[in-house]
Amino acid sequence: MTGPGGPAGNSGLILEALVTTLDPGGAMHLAPMGPHLDPADPGRLLLLPYPDSDTGRNLRRHPEGVVHVTDDVLLLARAAVGPVEPPPPAFPARHVRGFVLAGACRYHEFRVTAVDDSGPRVRLAAEVVHAGRLRDFFGFNRAKHAVVEAAILATRTAFLPAEEIAAEYGRLAVLVAKTGGPAEKEAFALLEAHVEKAKASRQK
């Protein structure tokens, strides 16, 4: 974002998305990520992976990938807590060496243009070289949003207090129970199990 709210800074819109990159063997790697973007300049992205994350290492080695917007919160939850096996259907990207998730609503093929690894998070400025739309976005739903929030919390069990996560999960569980369908409820149950497992391992 180029300044406050632009692709060279940190204060732009954060889009909850799924990112595919290539692993060392050339296979698709899938992970949730929140790229920063400026809605007025959709041709640029800022990715902030941790240096030791698979996505960060993959993009340093092969600086191309695909950002996906999806309403499939079950897939997002599965990607948040570990490798998705079997991997979801995908097809080759058109303008970068990578993969597009076949079930995504829309996607943005990108190429990294600049790297700044001076901070705790690697800053990867990227340009969108191709964008596509595969299907309509389902629409707003409180349960879907709740699963997204729960997935974000599930990735932070190593440093957030367990009591804080439990309190948030209690609040989010009500929204999922009231407004969610089978996919949202399955996703939330998956995340709850992950959080409980992480809590137990920290108590040992």
pTM above 0.85, yes or no: yes
150 and 127 inside one domain = no
Q: Report the number of distinct structural domains present in the chain.
A: 2
How does pLDDT run along the chain (204 residues), one tens digit per residue? 233 333 444 557 999 999 999 999 999 999 999 999 988 898 999 999 988 999 999 999 999 999 999 999 999 999 999 999 999 999 999 999 999 999 999 999 999 999 998 888 899 999 999 999 999 998 889 999 999 999 999 999 988 999 999 999 999 999 999 999 999 999 999 999 999 998 888 776
26 and 91 inside one domain = yes
146 and 96 inside one domain = no
Q: How far apart are the first and last CA of the chain?
A: 43
State the residue range of the domain holding 187. Answer: 142-203
Tokens of 141: 């739903």
Q: Where are the beta strands (DSSP E) in 34-167?
A: 36-38, 41-47, 64-69, 90-92, 99-101, 106-116, 123-133
Tokens of 23: 């692993």
CATH of the domain at 63: 2.30.110.10
Name the nearest CA neighbour of 102 among 133, 77, 59: 133
Instruction: Answer yes or no: are the C-beta atoms of 63 and 125 closer than 8 Å.
Output: no
